[in-house]
Structure 1
Amino acid sequence: MVTVLDNRLAVEAKPRPRHPEKAHRPDQATTLRKPDWLRVKAPVSKGYQETREIARSNNLITVCEEAGCPNIGGCWEKKHATFMIMGGICTRACAFCNVATGMPKPLDESEPESVGRAVAAMGLNHVVITSVDRDDLADGGAQHFVETIRAIRAAAPGTTIEILTPDFLRKPGALEAVVAARPDVFNHNLETVPSKYLTVRPGARYFHSIRLLQRVKELDPTIFTKSGIMVGLGEERNEVLQLMDDLRSADVDFLTIGQYLQPTKKHHAVMRFVTPEEFQSFETVALSKGFLVVSASPLTRSSHHAGEDFERLKAARLARRAAA
């Protein structure tokens, strides 16, 4: 999220309300130990520090920090970052997410220009913009996405833009406004299989999210669509395969699958660590179902290697058209 630092400090100081009956929290004795393939080095590189300074100097915060992403060191060293807009407080309380829940502050009208300046300063070829859920706003924050896309186009016209949006549930016209701004990639994550929505993503609706992605393609078939899920939340393999079919029915181009990692003991527990071999199997099956690009590994995150993956998307589309 992109917000002023004072807001960010207020968010960090405020404990996030949880719903104990909804978050599966095993006691300490039964907590699963993280396997070696999920261990990463602490970020210390010069590139990491430079990216951090650019974010700070523009009064921005990032999902990389807020979500405790394990890939932050590698991404920031390469000056890759995912900016989150519309403040640091979310109107929903998903059991997997570490962002604070409560009543958000009014939008910062200067925020889009701040994002544009940061993107230009970092010299990004590709940028990812995401946000908290803003159910308090009439359009769910759609116009703020539009203004941010416009600001990036003005400040860094050569940068391709990927957005990772909320579901705009019960916000008529919101999706259409964002699609009309023509981002290069429209990402909306399902997060998990439908049987887990009540405990993992209680404020969302699975088939609404599927329809949202399908509608993007109906409005503008040239925009790449993307979605991602976490595994290790107690889902069954056949549920993941059905989810792939649901996404392909919506003509989604790109699927990411990564290991869920529990942010704190108050969040949904990790029910299982999925092996690298299982992730490879998911990738093979997903590609056979028709996705243009699939990224599936323990450390895969929705925005990890987003720039490289955008180039893969373009190449895969061209190859498919040539073969048709």
Structure 2
Amino acid sequence: MNVPVLRQRHPEKAHRPDNAVSRKPKWIRRKKIESQEYYETRRLMRDHNLTTVCEEAACPNIGECWSKQHATMMIMGETCTRGCSFCNVSTGRPDALDVFEPGRVAKAVQKLNLRHVVITSVDRDDLDDGGADHIAQTIRAVRHNCPDTSVEVLTPDFLGKGEAADLVYEAAPDVFNHNLETVPRLYTTVRPGARYYQSLRLLDDAKRYNPSIFTKSGLMVGLGETPEEVRQVMDDLRAANVDFLTVGQYLQPTAKHHPVDRFWTPEDFEKLEKAARAKGFLGVSATPMTRSSFHADEDFAALKQARETVLAAKN
């Protein structure tokens, strides 16, 4: 009898010592919602052979989002070429790109009747353009099938890929999102395959390439950063003209992942939101359960309104 060999989800973390998984405080609550709409969303993802970051990253908000039939599509496979210490997405050697995937994403968006869709991806360092053209094709496919749907992309950093990101900028998503994730001091342990200033430049370039695109970035707290370091990252993002900031609490997926340094309180998050708004972001979401694509449709509507208010004040 042949017994299938199970591939390790995180081979790069297997040799690491276990880190204790901290008990979550009372303000960290995962809503378990399994409505008819939740199961319909899951079935639709299966029927179209699509991967979602909601499942792969073990997002705590999946029940609420899927019950509203909001799913964040994760394209270019389910295997990432990076091994970030916080991330629950599988790492290893990815399969070849599926040329039919952009069309399947567009059909799913159409069936879900989404007003706003978030499309993210794994890192694909194995590709010459880091997957930029595939992302651009997906944007165009959604635009073709669903012209009234706004499109938000959460992209890799395209590190070492020259001007590959221009392909994504040219496809003109409504929102270009790239998460800095943490403060510069922690990059070598938290995000070792990335470079802080490369990520910051990516966001700056997006706005310079097309000033009408909304730019967005996100941070996790609880990895060992200080409040002063978080505020400095806010300043860096504003210097790059980033419009929207999300800040959420890091939750440790397994004992092999980066440990939680501390749980920031709801009051801490209120202070972060006030600081970010004072620095001039058009939109801010800072709560323990905030994630990049959580309530993204409402956030996009608020972003448009905020921009209109600013422009009206100048005229």
Which TM-score bucket, shorter chain as reference?
A: over 0.9
| Correspondence for 1:103 | 93
Superposition CA RMSD, Å = 1.6
| Correspondence for 1:260 | 250
Local SS of the residue matching 2:27: helix
- For the 8 Å contact 2:13–2:257, the answer to whether it is kept is no
User: Once the two structures are superposed, what CA deviation does each residue of 1:242-263 show, in whole Å capped at 9, x if it has no partner?
Assistant: 0000000000000000000011
| Correspondence for 1:163 | 153
Aligned partners of 1:67, 1:26: CA distance in 2, in Å? 19
| Correspondence for 2:280 | 290
Question: Shift in Å at residue 103 of structure 1?
Answer: 1.1
Calculate percent identity across the aligned residue pairs: 60
Local SS of the residue matching 1:161: strand
Question: Shift in Å at residue 270 of structure 1?
Answer: 0.7
Letter in 1 for 2:90: A
Letter in 2 for 1:16: H
TM superposition score normalised by structure 2? 0.96
User: Once the two structures are superposed, what CA deviation does each residue of 1:198-245 show, in whole Å capped at 9, x if it has no partner?
Assistant: 000000000111111000111000000000010000100100000000
Choose the corresponding residue for 1:94, options 70, 84, 100: 84
Aligned partners of 2:54, 2:297: CA distance in 1, in Å? 15
| Correspondence for 1:202 | 192
| Correspondence for 2:12 | 18
Local SS of the residue matching 2:55: helix
User: Once the two structures are superposed, what CA deviation does each residue of 1:43-65 show, in whole Å capped at 9, x if it has no partner?
Assistant: 31111111111111111110001
| Correspondence for 1:127 | 117
Choose the corresponding residue for 1:39, options 29, 50, 53: 29
Aligned partners of 2:95, 2:36: CA distance in 1, in Å? 34
Question: Shift in Å at residue 14 of structure 1?
Answer: 3.2
Question: Shift in Å at residue 74 of structure 1?
Answer: 0.7
TM superposition score normalised by structure 1? 0.93
Aligned partners of 2:257, 2:26: CA distance in 1, in Å? 22
Aligned partners of 2:140, 2:7: CA distance in 1, in Å? 33
Choose the corresponding residue for 2:65, options 68, 75, 79: 75
Local SS of the residue matching 1:186: strand
Structure 1 residues 269 and 168, CA gap change in structure 2 (3 angstroms): same
Structure 1 residues 97 and 262, CA gap change in structure 2 (3 angstroms): same
Q: Which moved more, 1:96-105 or 1:181-190?
A: 96-105
Local SS of the residue matching 1:145: helix
- Please list, as runs of the form range in 1=range in 2, the aligned pairs for 1:161-310 lying within 5 A after superposition: 161-310=151-300
- For the 8 Å contact 1:142–1:178, the answer to whether it is kept is yes
